[in-house]
Structure 1
Amino acid sequence: MDLQAYRRCIGQQLEELELLSSIYCAAGELQLLDAGVVADFNEFLQTESQTPLRSNLEYIIRLSLPAKECVDVRIELPHLYPQLELARISVHTTLLDKIKEQHLKLEIANYLTDQREAEEPYVYQLLSWLQDQIEALILRPTSELERESAEEKPRTAQLERLWIYSHHIKSSMKRQELIRQARQLELSGFSRPGKPGIICIEGEPEQVQEYWRSIKALRWQKISLVRTETCRKRRFENFTEQLFNAADGEEGVINMGQFIKFLEAHGTGYMKSELFGLA
């Protein structure tokens, strides 16, 4: 993505934060997790820096509910929100039991999915929607949600796996971001830094697509999606970085024997053909 669009996203985030600060202005209603990020964002825009920012804008907004109750909503904004990346939202409250909490989590995920084409900030609209949802959810019997969940369960859950090939992965910041995003989205798989760079990611389809959308927006010399698979179970327990280097150092030539053994150990040996044209 070009730097001008990147700057526009950062500017939109600051403008939205200013609006939210004027709305949630009572003591304790809006809490910045790192106030220094705002200063960094302003400096980035004013100096026309060419270096991407390291920290994300994160804050907590306390929503007031009836009977003097409240819930905390944590918002994390990736640098390319709202144009190419979705806001990350989590709700922290003791007012909902586990079933209602899971239901709300799914509703939030669906709401965010509907914002994929958004170009303008939407956190305020999301908060207004979220407050209505929580108030209604508190009043709903848990048994009603359990019945709805039971009716939906016969559908077989499908997972998705993506294989991604890059010209190279050298930047330490990029390597850390690949791992952070995967763990944030509860995905499994691996990344192989160096030249070439290889990424395998698997999990819930929505989270997998969110990961792909997020990482391809980073600066790459060349990156492509080699294969998309629908699957019923994961091949990897978690997300790790694997070197497979023939020599020490991240820029070492890939040790093909190590790599193929790793693939075969995880039941994905068939990918040696698609990734490298090996029989």
Structure 2
Amino acid sequence: MAATTRECLELQLLEMEMLLSMFPNKELVLENPNSILHTRRYLEGIRESLPSIIEFLIFVNVQKSEVKAEMHVSLPHSYPQEEPQVFVRSVALDRQQQNFLNKELVSYIHSLDRGELCISIAAQWLQDNISTYIQNSKQNDEPECEIKEATYTFHRMWIYSHHIYRQELRKKILEYAKRLNLTGFCLTGKPGVICIEGVKEQCEEFWRDIRYPNWKHISCKHSESKEVTGKIDDLRLFNSFEELALTAHGDYGLRNDYHMDLGQFLEYLKQHKSEHIFHILFGVEGKY
């Protein structure tokens, strides 16, 4: 018989206690420091609504090296009956080896029995195997006789959400965009709009990372790509990544149900040669 959500959350708390004892020196960092407390209160009946999912980082030391790897973990409410979402990054890995490593790690987790708590097992697998991928990355970095100018795919994504309010989420969006060298903007409030532009793989990484299972009302409305050799900055419409602070109107009560001034937003798009996106996002032509 499949475990209930309550039973799964109870197991998640047990595993988090075990992991925090295994990594006592800040090797484990919660994305939301209150997620464990909220889960416990839900199980105790103090909270009626489901808590947000538990997300965290585990910093794994690479053997015989000062290099560290970050294992990003997201636990769906139905974990361990459902597989966790796990993704690894390290400055010592090139993009190809990082992709290979993550595919192998996901495959390894998939081979384990469902219902089994597996985060500590995955962390041990990573510690045992990551040095091989790092060594392969170093070999790929060896210079060739003829150096060819790199070719990239420049990519721009227009993402629409019913709303973007939570301070935690807004902070994550800004941090991820900066870390991945993406430019664009985030329009907070209702509706929420995100534009990112940069190297395609980094755009896709951003899109994968900000989506989480309970963010239902979000979609990529439009994307644009172009192959480019050398620098991509000439194709950017935005100089940096910023959070837009536009005029809002509506109910400023507990629900924060306020709408952003779409006339101002249209003017902002026009300033960045993107007014055609207004119709794609909202289904109506922009008017001044």
Alpha-carbon distance change, 244 to 79 in structure 1, aligned in 2, over 3 angstroms: same
For 2:9 and 2:197, the matched residues in 1 are separated by 31
Corresponding residue number in structure 1 for 2:268? 262
Q: How does 1:124-203 map to 2 (within 5 A)?
A: 124-135=124-135, 145-147=142-144, 150-151=147-148, 153=149, 156-203=151-198
Residue number among 199, 203, 206 corresponding to 1:211 in the alignment: 206
Deviation at 1:242, TM superposition (A): 0.6
Residue number among 109, 116, 124 corresponding to 2:98 in the alignment: 109
Structure 1 unaligned residues grouped into runs of 5+: 22-29, 92-100
Corresponding residue number in structure 2 for 1:61? 60
Deviation at 1:88, TM superposition (A): 4.0
Alpha-carbon distance change, 195 to 42 in structure 1, aligned in 2, over 3 angstroms: closer
AA matched with 2:199: E
For 1:209 and 1:9, the matched residues in 2 are separated by 32
Deviation at 1:274, TM superposition (A): 1.0
- Alignment partner of 1:52: what SS? coil
Deviation at 1:184, TM superposition (A): 3.5
For 1:85 and 1:157, the matched residues in 2 are separated by 28
Structure 2 unaligned residues grouped into runs of 5+: 77-81, 111-118, 229-234
Tell me the alpha carbon deviations over residues 92-119 of structure 1, each in whole angstroms, 9 at most, x when there is no partner: xxxxxxxxx5xx3324432355369655
AA matched with 2:143: E
Contact 1:33–1:58 (Cα < 8 Å) also in 2? no
Contact 2:29–2:58 (Cα < 8 Å) also in 1? no
1:33 aligns with 2:26: yes
- Alignment partner of 1:226: what SS? strand
Alpha-carbon distance change, 223 to 107 in structure 1, aligned in 2, over 3 angstroms: closer
Greater alpha carbon shift after TM alignment, 251-260 vs 163-172:
251-260
- Alignment partner of 2:143: what SS? helix
Deviation at 1:205, TM superposition (A): 2.3
Tell me the alpha carbon deviations over residues 212-249 of structure 1, each in whole angstroms, 9 at most, x when there is no partner: 23333253452222112113533223321113225597
TM-score by length of 1: 0.67
Count of equivalent residues: 248
For 1:15 and 1:107, the matched residues in 2 are separated by 34
Corresponding residue number in structure 1 for 2:51? 51
For 1:218 and 1:111, the matched residues in 2 are separated by 24
1:241 aligns with 2:243: yes
Greater alpha carbon shift after TM alignment, 128-137 vs 172-181:
128-137
Tell me the alpha carbon deviations over residues 35-75 of structure 1, each in whole angstroms, 9 at most, x when there is no partner: 685x9776566553633268x5334333333xxxx223142
Alpha-carbon distance change, 111 to 234 in structure 1, aligned in 2, over 3 angstroms: farther
Deviation at 1:177, TM superposition (A): 2.5
- Alignment partner of 1:237: what SS? coil
Contact 1:32–1:59 (Cα < 8 Å) also in 2? no
For 1:5 and 1:227, the matched residues in 2 are separated by 40
For 1:269 and 1:9, the matched residues in 2 are separated by 50
Contact 2:87–2:102 (Cα < 8 Å) also in 1? no
Relative to its length, the structure with more helix (as a share) is: 1
- Alignment partner of 2:130: what SS? helix
For 2:238 and 2:221, the matched residues in 1 are separated by 18
Tell me the alpha carbon deviations over residues 136-182 of structure 1, each in whole angstroms, 9 at most, x when there is no partner: 666x5x9x72218835x46x311222111111222222222322332
